[in-house]
Amino acid sequence: MTTRSDAAGRVAALFRYPVKSMLGEACATIELTTLGVAGDRRYAFIDDESGRVATAKNP
């Protein structure tokens, strides 16, 4: 007898990133909302000179 599974994979770890472009934090559980992971990328640093969001991609 074969069993059918709709599973596409498994979750190995959960992380959220409260501040854009900074290190994340490991989580045992997360809350999903209609906007995504609760608390994820809630904050960002703004460059005072340019007024743009600071990013690790552009030093």
Extents of the domains making up the chain: 12-59
Q: Please, which pLDDT band fits residue 59 given cuts at 50, 70 and 90?
A: low
CA distance linking residue 41 with residue 27, whole number of Å: 15
Model pLDDT for residues 29-43, shown as the tens digit of each residue: 999 989 889 888 878
5 pLDDT higher than 70: yes
pLDDT of residue 1: 58
DSSP secondary-structure letter at 37? E
Q: pTM of the prediction?
A: 0.57
Partnered with residue 37 across adjacent β-strands are: 32
Q: Which two tokens stand for residue 37?
A: 């992971």
Amino acid letter, residue 21 = S
Q: How many CA atoms lie within 13 A of 31 on its CB side?
A: 3
pLDDT of residue 23: 84
Q: Which two tokens stand for residue 9?
A: 């994979």
